[in-house]
Amino acid sequence: MKKSKVIIAAGIIGLSAIGAMVANHIQQPSLPTFSTAYVQPKQTALPEFTLGDNQEYTKALFQDKWSLVFFGYASCPDVCPTELYNLNNVAKIMTDAGKTMPQVVFISVDPQRDNNEMLTSYAHFYNDNFLGMTGASSEIDKLVASFGVIYQKTFLATNGKYVSVPYTSPIPEDQRESYLINHSSRLYLVNPQGQYVAAFAPPHSANKIAEDLLKL
Amino acid sequence: MQKSIITTLIATAIFSTAPTFAAETTNIMIMDSWVRAAPPSAKVQAAFFTVMNHSNKPIVITDVKAQGFGRSELHLSGKKDGMMTMQKQQQVTIPANTVFQFKPGSYHVMLLEPNKIAAPGELVNVSFTLLNGETISTKMPVKRDNNKAKMDHGKMDHSKMDHSNMKHN
């Protein structure tokens, strides 16, 4: 009798320990040792958000698959296209290696000029599987805060100098179509649990990024 | 100096296509030019090329125009406060006896207000105005990328890289 109680108690303790380990693993899945990606000291669960014309993009977007997230804007002539072409090269390397390319999510921080339909075709130009999206600045900023992105509007003032202001600040009327945006150009890695776990700092090399992604 | 120019010239001749333009009076060559293909829904495109200044004087580019685009500007991509930035340049100086690259992530020509985004295979006629008043024109092919065996700089020694711009923003 006593013996069986001990066995049951031991069993409960053992199962709890296993349960705790499993729970812990779900909470904090371990990452491989990356060569170039900067691992976040603490894996950050992404907040609730809604992007897309019909609020179709939510936190669920990041569930059950690895994702790479990049913030930019469609009127960006150099940095964003360079990044998207580069990510297409990463996808080629991954496919050639028989591995799944993480989902690529291009988020425009410029909803005043960009829309979802245009961003979808924009992203597909670089790769059929890439996603392009935007939404209300208040929703974008929830993600911006989680990833630690910074961005601002910048325009040429009449004195020939660039002036940078927060995105939602009013700017001169003649600049409303031609402003530029300064933005962080890190590439963020999100795990299948929807947590921000690592970032690739520029300059980005397709081979280096793929080398780390192949370890996932 | 002369020797290095000759080496550069030979190297450039080996690694790039034939010069797309050589000016009559100013000793300048624009080579290896291309306009990067962009999605039809894009609002801008960028042009990249190599300028060779064979003269002993700096050459200053003061303006640029491209057929099919309402506006064209000389731009420089850079980094500031942990962000990628872009700034219009009033002019770009090509130092004497230099091979100067307009390339992704650096100097480029920003093509704005397109009548229609230029598609791969098309040619875009781009004219540059120099400080001495001369105008030079070149036809730039539209390509998805600059189809050359590109060196991947991933194996570069970054130990001497200046990380002062790196912010964990």
Q: What angle do CA A13, A14, A20 make, to 5 degrees?
A: 85
Per-residue pLDDT, B20: 57
Instruction: Give the span between the Cα atoms of B120 and A19, in whole angstroms.
Output: 57
Per-residue pLDDT, A10: 59
Facing residue for A183 by CB, picked from B84, B90, B168: B84
Q: Is B58 on the interface with A (CB under 8 A)?
A: no
Q: Cβ of B105 and A208 within 8 Å?
A: no
CA-closest candidate to residue B45, choices B111, B106, B103: B111
Query: What type of residue is A190?
Result: V
CA-closest candidate to residue A82, choices B124, B48, B119, B83: B48
Looking at chain B, list the stretches that DSSP marks H as alpha helix, in order from N- to C-terminal side.
2-15
Chain A positions touching B144 (Cβ under 8 A) are 85
pLDDT at B153 over 90: no
The residue ranking higher by pLDDT, B23 or B126, is: B126
Q: Is B112 on the interface with A (CB under 8 A)?
A: yes
Q: What is the pLDDT of residues A141-169, one digit of tens each?
A: 999 999 999 999 999 888 888 999 999 99
> Does the pTM exceed 0.75?
yes
Facing residue for A78 by CB, picked from B39, B46, B88: B46
Q: What is the pLDDT of residues A50-81, one digit of tens each?
A: 999 998 999 999 999 999 999 999 999 899 99
Q: Cβ of A79 and B84 within 8 Å?
A: yes
Q: Cβ of B41 and A121 within 8 Å?
A: yes
Rounded to a whole number of angstroms, the distance between the first and last alpha carbons of chain B is 43
Instruction: Give the span between the Cα atoms of B82 and A149, in whole angstroms.
Output: 9
Q: What angle do CA A125, A131, A136 make, to 5 degrees?
A: 120
pLDDT at B154 over 50: no
The helix (run of H) or strand (run of E) holding residue A105 is: strand A103-108
pLDDT at A4 over 90: no
Q: What is the pLDDT of residues B104-122, one digit of tens each?
A: 999 999 999 999 999 999 9
CA-closest candidate to residue A86, choices A74, A98, A104, A100: A104
Chain A positions touching B39 (Cβ under 8 A) are 121-122, 124-126
Q: What is the pLDDT of residues B4-63, one digit of tens each?
A: 444 444 444 444 445 556 555 678 999 999 999 999 989 999 999 999 999 999 999 999
Chain B positions touching A124 (Cβ under 8 A) are 39
Chain A positions touching B143 (Cβ under 8 A) are none
pLDDT at B162 over 50: no
Looking at chain A, list the stretches that DSSP marks H as alpha helix, in order from N- to C-terminal side.
2-27, 79-96, 116-126, 137-147, 206-213
The nearest CA of chain A is from the CA of B153 a distance in Å of 7
Q: Is A69 on the interface with B (CB under 8 A)?
A: no
Q: What is the pLDDT of residues A111-138, one digit of tens each?
A: 999 999 999 999 999 999 999 999 999 9
Name which of A21-25, A168-172, A201-205, B101-105 the model is least confident about: A21-25
Per-residue tokens: B23? 């000016």
